[in-house]
Structure 1
Amino acid sequence: MNAIRNESGESAPPAPCLLFVDDDRDVQVAARLLFRRSGLDILSAHGADEALTQLASFPVDLVLLDLNYTKGMTAGAEGLALLRDMLVLRPDLPVIVVTGHSGVTIAVAAMRAGAVDFVMKPWNNERLLALVEGTLKKCRACQASEAEPALIVASDDLRRTVAEADRLAVTRASLIITGAPGVGKMLLARRIHALSYEDDPAVMLRAEDCEALPEGRGTWIFRNIEALSARMQRRLADRLDARVAPRVIALSSRDHANLEDMLDPRLMLHLGMVGLTLSPLHGRADDIVALSAHFLRYFAARHGLAEPRMDESRLRLLCEEEWSQNVRGLRALVERAVLTGTWETASEEAEAVPNTALTLRDTERSLIETALRKHGFNVTQAARELGLTRPALYRRMARYGL
């Protein structure tokens, strides 16, 4: 969101940015007209994954949250789950529930889960605007924090692991999270801490560099717990034996059997009581599809570029890839695709016929021209499809003479 200049030529702060999550496009249009007339920027999301991407990509000040996104759903479970995930990313984020089918009971449940207020559909424009502006004014001091990277969950395997982590989050139990490099162990650890009753930030520790333990209790997240020296393992076991002990979330790329051989038996009694394992990305096709879409939207917004087209053949190749670096490798590949405008890897480019390859400039111009023609040269709609802001699209139109 760009800052504007006031009459004295000084930069004025950017307009507050709202995110409206609702699958009804007519409702989205009505909200956009209402808030933009009042000088507020507004982003749209039509489901949970898109909402998390927008929240990770833009400095959102407030969320308007519908509770149902799948046709026929009226229970509000989708919205309540999304509310929890958004507050994991941004604990101080003000969320106003906008509900129709779910009714007042679910709206009250959402407030107990962290929403600041609710409004019923169809809303009164003046009342909704007053509620949003009043909420922004109250929460303005809390808008500096950035969102944590989003944990995108689509496969049944990962859903089960995350559900167990959420169940354990409210306890004081120490635990071990295992899994190959790049599967998201740190993201899961941060989620557990965010959903706990601990107010203070977690202390991050690299076991190989640890020469002293923090004071107090709180939550300590240890990377590569197996690299902790024998002396520090004994000290950590002593701390966990105390009546008032810290909560330790240990991360390791080793499996449970290896850890039993590498860690002090007394320490392992504490840490090994509860274990969570994140499986490799390869074989989790649903997560690969969801993560690819998330990273495409995220990096297109971050770099101000169009999303390269994802066809069925490319998606199939992604799902068949081994992913030795797991989510980290997929993230890097998608960012490269956004930056270069093509999905081709270095080996694919070497095999391609040079004269038939489109340049990045040609590809971007073609994408923009196609989107503009599709929407009758409606810049707002074309920008939304391309994942660009209106000013960014205007700059590219000028660059290519469109």
Structure 2
Amino acid sequence: MQHDEKPLLLFVDDDPDVQSAARLLFRHRGLDIVCAHDAQAALTQLATHTIDLVLLDLNYSRGATSGAEGLALLKDMLVLRPELPVVVVTGHSGVTIAVSAMRAGARDFVMKPWNNQRLMTLIERILASRPVERRTATEHAMIVASATLGQILAEADRLAPTRAPIIICGPPGSGKTLLARRIFSLSRDAGREILIRAEDCDALPEEQGNWLIRNVEALTPTLQRQLADSLEKADGPRVIALSSFDRNGLETRLDHRLMLNLGMVVLAVPPLDQRPDDIVALTSHFSYYFATRHGLPEPDVDDVCLTSLKTAVWPQNVRSLRARVERAVLTGTWQVSSMERHGNAVVPTTLYETERLLIETALRKHGFNVTHAARELGLTRPALYRRMARYGL
């Protein structure tokens, strides 16, 4: 099977000497390689590059020998790329953990110190079976550094194999959709996702499977009752519903029977400004991603800059931070954002930002009641929904 581009390998190992040896070996054999020293860096590399195969060490922290870090990373990588071939490279963890990794989706394993020829034979055999059409990189890695989001992720992973319906609530851009898609990827019935935009929905799908419902509170009363009927069926769909309202807000907006069935589990994703550790990790992630994408150097990030980012206002949460980092890569400097905090005020400087801020302010004032917010803004409900979609609200 012929491929026009050289294969690209990702090697995850915390030992720089081992990384250097791997680079020499693979480049001598005509293979390109990128390296990562821990899980976060590995996910960033996977999101940035078109990786054909991963060599995965299982321990990254000093003194770690259990392999737990590597097994968790293996799961995260296969959520992003289910078909990705992963070869576990193990030393301290031993054969037992390597076998566990294969049960979790790894393609094979090698022991340290490896035999160069045997390792190359294994890699060449796996690469020979890769598809002619190379899978493109995927930016949508879920980067988690805060304990708060880590706990939510652990609960989502625990529930993923079940058929339980789940509500994920949180402000716009906080990561609700990524979390929902992770749950679907880890479910027993992982398959095609049916996206339902509640404000545009005239009828529920006839097809069962995985339903992702955005702005669930915007479903008409009739559709809410029909959805409640579907959830009560033994062979009904697996539903994950997203909303900017919290549980209390949804209790007043959803049919009581629907809330009873749909709201057994509510995962609340906090806004980005309550997760400073995630801000630091995401800044590093987006900086490398956009620098690679645009062919520009990563902007320097000092302590003063990080402090500014951790205390800034992020109206669109992760989306706002992503745009801010891309702008820093393109301009080569961390410009003061027009939407950053100035004292206790948020000062918009463009028509786009002004309209978005007016709409968000009205929505928050009325507890995201679209009818009341539209009346205050002098808009019809459909017009407000269109603007909400435009600004990601």
Q: TM-score range by the shorter chain?
A: 0.7 to 0.9
2:65 aligned residue: 74
Number of residue pairs matched?
338
Cross-structure match for 2:4: 13
Q: Deviations over 1:314-342 (max 9, x none)?
A: 00111111212111111110010001100
Q: Name 1:157's counterpart in structure 2.
A: 148
- CA 1:298 to 1:148, structure 2 compared with 1: closer, same or farther past 3 Å? closer
- Given that 2:51 and 2:137 are in contact with CA atoms closer than 8 Å, whether structure 1 keeps it comes out as no
The DSSP-based 3-state class of the residue aligned with 2:191 is coil
Of 36, 46, 50, 1:59 maps to: 50
Q: Is the partner of 1:222 in helix, strand or coil?
A: strand
Looking at structure 1, the residues matched to 206 and 223 of structure 2 have their Cα atoms a distance apart, in angstroms, of: 14
Greater CA drift, 236-245 or 182-191: 236-245
Match of 1:192 in 2: 183
- Matched residue of 1:262: which SS? coil
Q: Which residue of 1 aligns with 2:163?
A: 172
TM-score calculated relative to the size of structure 1: 0.82
- Counterparts of 1:315 and 1:163 in 2: how far apart (Å)? 27
Superposed displacement of residue 261, structure 1: 1.0
Partner of 2:78: 87
Q: 1:214-363 maps to which residues of 2 (within 5 A)? A: 214-345=205-336
Letter aligned with residue 290 of structure 1: A
Q: Aligned with 2:239: secondary structure?
A: strand
Preserved CA contact (<8 Å) 1:90 1:145:
no
Change in 2 beyond 3 A, CA 1:59/1:145: closer
For 2:295 and 2:228, the matched residues in 1 are separated by 49
1:75-125 deviation line (CA, Å, top 9, x unaligned): 111111111110111111110000111111111111111101000000000
CA distance 1:23–1:189, shift in 2 (3 Å): same
CA distance in 2, matches of 1:144, 1:309: 31
Task: Give the residue type in structure 1 aligned to 2:147.
Answer: D
Following TM superposition, by how much is the alpha carbon of 1:347 offset from its aligned partner in structure 2, in angstroms? 5.9
Offset of residue 346 of structure 1: 5.3
Corresponding residue of 1:381: none
Verify the 8 A CA contact 1:15 1:40 in the aligned structure 2. yes
1:37-87 per-residue CA deviation (whole Å, 9 max, x = no partner) reads: 221111111111111011001100110000111111111111111111101
- SS for the counterpart of 2:129 is helix
- 1:347–1:324: structure 2 CA closer, same or farther, 3 Å change rule? closer
Kept in 2: contact 1:90–1:146 (CA 8 A)? no
What is the identity, as a one-letter code, of the residue corresponding to 2:16? R
Counterpart of 1:43 in 2: which secondary structure? strand
2:138 and 2:184 mapped to 1: Cα distance?
Answer: 15
Per the TM alignment, residue 140 of structure 1 is displaced from its structure 2 partner at its CA by: 2.7
Q: Which amino acid aligns with 1:267?
A: L
Contact 1:96 1:118 (8 Å CA) reproduced: yes
What is the one-letter code of the residue matched to 1:56? A
Matched residue SS, 1:54: helix
1:244 Cα deviation after fit: 0.8
* Partner SS state of residue 212, structure 2: strand
Letter in 1 for 2:7: P
Please report how far the alpha carbon of residue 311 of structure 1 lies from its aligned counterpart in structure 2 after TM superposition: 0.3
Would you say 1:210 and 2:204 are equivalent positions? no
Contact 2:56 2:70 in 1 (8 A): yes
TM-score (norm 2): 0.83
Please give the secondary structure, in 1, of the residue aligned with 2:273. Answer: coil
How far the C-alpha of 1:217 sits from its partner, in A, is: 1.9
Is the partner of 2:272 in helix, strand or coil?
A: coil
Distance 2:255 2:136 in 1: 38
Q: Retained in 1: the 8 A contact 2:184–2:190?
A: no
Q: Contact 2:177/2:242 (CA < 8 Å) preserved in 1?
A: yes
What is the CA–CA distance in structure 2 between the aligned matches of 1:192 and 1:148, rounded to whole Å? 18
Alignment equivalent of 2:102, drawn from 103, 111, 116: 111
User: 1:295/1:145 Cα in 2 relative to 1: closer, same or farther (>3 Å)?
Assistant: closer
Query: Structure 2: how far apart are the matches of 1:332 and 1:148?
Result: 14
Partner of 1:48: 39
Deviation, 1:283, is 2.5
Unaligned runs of 5+ in 2: 340-393
CA distance in 1 between counterparts of 2:334 and 2:34 reads: 27
Deviation for aligned residue 1:232: 1.2
**1:136 counterpart residue number:** 127
Unaligned runs of 5+ in 1: 1-10, 349-402
Counterpart secondary structure, 2:109: strand
Query: What do you get for the CA RMSD once the two structures are aligned?
Result: 1.6
Q: More displaced, 339-348 or 218-227? A: 339-348
Instruction: Identify if the C-alpha distance between structure 1 residues 266 and 146 changes in structure 2 by more than 3 Å, giving closer, same or farther.
Output: farther
